[in-house]
Chains A and B, each alone.
Chain A
Amino acid sequence: MSADVELQNVSVTFGSFYAAKNVSVKIKQGEFFSFLGPSGCGKTTLLRAISGFLDPSEGKVMIGGQNMAGIGPNKRPTSLIFQNLALFPLMSVADNIAFSLEVKGVSKTKRRDRADELLELIALSGQGDKKVHELSGGQRQRVAIARALAIEPEVLLLDEPLSALDLKLRQKMRTELRAIQKRVGITFIYITHDQGEALTMSDRVAVMNEGELEQVGLCDDVYDFPQTPFVATFVGENNPFYGKVLSVDKDMVKVESQGNAFLAKAGKIDEQNKHNFKNGDEVIMFIRPESIFIDNQNNKLDNNFVAKLNTIEFEGNLKNIYLNINSNMNVRFSVPNAIDTSELSTNKDVQLTFSSEKAVVLPKGSLAVD
């Protein structure tokens, strides 16, 4: 069983502070959906409103088409995985997993059978009699998932459960979580500030900032077609070019920035494929570091500019190259480590090029602070 979740104009206030502001989103049944945003953006608040630990000040939470107002967390078809997992340290692994069944009054042998079944699902067969502290971080993670699945929830809510793990384990658990979700087929709602996590696991993501939804969409759409400057800079890296609109031709916008004229796609397109850029509008053009190339005469694209090399930073698989266009405008791009950059030297001009297809123009707005 799996249910859809719909938030209708949900606001949560603490005094005069809006932790969540007029959030409306429809999460489909069986979907892996992530709320992505910086800490304090209200994503945990939304999760608590869905799980029933707090009531929205305004709006409705609908699960499986049913209004959840007045229904407590122990009566909702949801199950929550806490950031610190909140496993019960004094119980064995099997007792942890079967706690929800114990609550329902299921007999001891049946509980044990179900716990063994779930232990198999999470690849921890035969570890049921261990205490929680005897397990490794990744194993605990899986036990928390099994415990949450034991009540057969229709919606599984996950509150940054991977944040305490180290990088390698986190990457492994992403794959594993996704696989478990596919196997059990229920709706997963995942909260994270890590865009890598959100993009690798989710079907769709909602990017949040200051209690409001900035953009909801498929992962690649959110990455390739950000709708706001915040999304453009929070999800992945981006180079902002502040400037003015010179001319508009259908979906392509010509922008003047730092003495250069660039051609870029118009972002912020509505459902009818319309935008409302006009000549003279203050805008930001975004171009991602991986879309900028060194111009070696053979690969010239439709946008070109010159910048002085500042530093080259080695990051394993990539090299990050930092340049200055002028004293108040920096730009950064990345090249694979295999590319030879020995010809570049500090404070020398570098010819750069990028495609107008990869650049996005958005109305001026606040960026994600990093």
Chain B
Amino acid sequence: MNYFFNKNGPLISTYFIIAIVFWLIFLIIIPQLYMLDLSFRPNLPPLLRGGSDDVHTLVHYKHFIFGSESSDDTYNYVDIGVFFNTIFTAVLVTIINLCFCYPIAFYMAKMANPNTSRLLIVSLIIPFWINELLRSFALRILFAGEGVINNILVGSGLIDSGINFIAMDIALYTGLTYAYILLMIFPLYNALESLDTNQLEAAKDLGSSTFRTHWRIVIPHAKAGIASGCTMVFMLTAGALATPVVLSSPNTYWFTQLIYQWFNMNDNWSRGSAYSILLLSVSVVFVLLMMRVFKVKIGEIIR
């Protein structure tokens, strides 16, 4: 602490400490704790809050599992289905993203000359100056029944009638994969760039195939970057709202859409909180899982 003060001077040090403490306590810890508490309370009109009915209860979590009492089903198939579909799709999107970004990041970090690499980075970043919602709508235009892609395919005679990309959720998967691509590429790029090129040549000189070099040398070196990219993409994908709203098929619900509904349309903040906590828990479990799978420490992921 003394060292920190001496190094940065009293003014900057005080600012840093106040800013970090404010950020942690007011913007993260208090809201999350409030939501956690809210998720265990019944949904009451404002006048009854704090009254005798305002007790801790598991009703919202029960609702997620068993559904409303008026329903005939044993379990809440709809919500549970949406939940697992969201998780599963987010995992899938993360994997697709990784497969897609790894070669690009490797090319930028190790194969392209610095100018090409810079050009690639800029051309990856520029599309993200456009708002996420607008990008989703642009993709909708591409994938619509009478959209650009269908027109090209039908016009060139490759297919007879348009493909319903939206109903097949192809538009959704594409949109989600594209939405957070930078958050996969940059951690990968950073990790790969620090790999000594001589290691690649040494492996090659020792007779290694390209695949084996990647498997034994490059991927182990980049694992922290891979874990970091996967965690971020997974969390943001699972928590995405705009892209699923615009691009999902009418039959597909994203879990965040349910949360949104409880908060805004049904005015049930307690249930919305409970559902948010569920999503948050899964995200935390995913991070821990990635750390276990890639044998990295939390510090390495953040790096």
Contact = CB atoms under 8 A, between A and B. Distances in A.
Contacts of A75: 207
Given A90-B220, A90-B221, A103 B202 contact: no
Interface in B183-216: 196, 198-199, 201-209, 212, 216
A73 interface: yes
B209 to A, nearest CB: 7
A51 interface: yes
A86 B196 contact: yes
Contacts of A78: 205
Given A73-B201, A86-B199, A99 B208 contact: yes
Nearest to A147: B206
A84 B198 contact: yes
B207 A100 contact: yes
B206 A74 contact: yes
A176 B107 CA distance: 40
B29 interface: no
A154 to B, nearest CB: 14
B205 A79 contact: yes
Contact of A151 (B199, B207, B220): B207
Given A82-B198, A86-B196, A86-B201, A103 B220 contact: no
Interface in A238-254: none
A302 B205 CA distance: 56
A53 B217 CA distance: 19
B204 A74 contact: yes
Interface string B153-196: 00000000000000000000000000000000000000000001
A73 B205 contact: yes
B164 to A, nearest CB: 47
Interface residues of B, number: 17
B69 to A, nearest CB: 56
B203 A99 contact: yes
Interface in A67-100: 72-75, 78-80, 82-84, 86-88, 90-91, 99-100
A150 B209 CA distance: 17
Interface in B226-266: none
Nearest to B196: A86
A207 B220 CA distance: 41
Contacts of A79: 205-206
A100 B206 CA distance: 5
Contacts of A91: 216
A72 B198 CA distance: 16
B198 A86 contact: yes
Residue of A73, A78, A79, A86 ringed by the most chain B CB atoms within 10 A: A86
Nearest to A78: B205
A72 B220 CA distance: 25
A151 B202 CA distance: 12
Contacts of B202: 80, 82, 86-88
Contact of B205 (A80, A84, A88, A102): A80
A38 B185 CA distance: 41
A183 interface: no
A188 to B, nearest CB: 15
Contacts of B217: 88
B198 A73 contact: no
A104 interface: yes
B198 A104 contact: no
Contacts of A151: 206-207
Interface in B82-135: none
Interface in A241-292: none
B224 to A, nearest CB: 12
Given A90-B220, A90-B221, A103 B198 contact: no
Contacts of A80: 201-202, 205
A79 B208 CA distance: 12
A79 B201 CA distance: 11
A82 B204 contact: no
A93 to B, nearest CB: 15
Nearest to A95: B216
B207 A82 contact: no
Nearest to A150: B206
A128 to B, nearest CB: 17
Interface in A136-178: 147-148, 150-151
A330 to B, nearest CB: 42
Nearest to B203: A99
Contact of A84 (B196, B208, B212, B221): B196
B129 to A, nearest CB: 37
A218 B212 CA distance: 42
Interface of A: 51, 53, 72-75, 78-80, 82-84, 86-88, 90-91, 99-100, 102-104, 147-148, 150-151
15 contacts: A51-B205, A72-B204, A73-B201, A78-B205, A79-B206, A84-B198, A86-B198, A88-B199, A88-B202, A88-B203, A90-B221, A91-B216, A99-B203, A100-B206, A103-B206
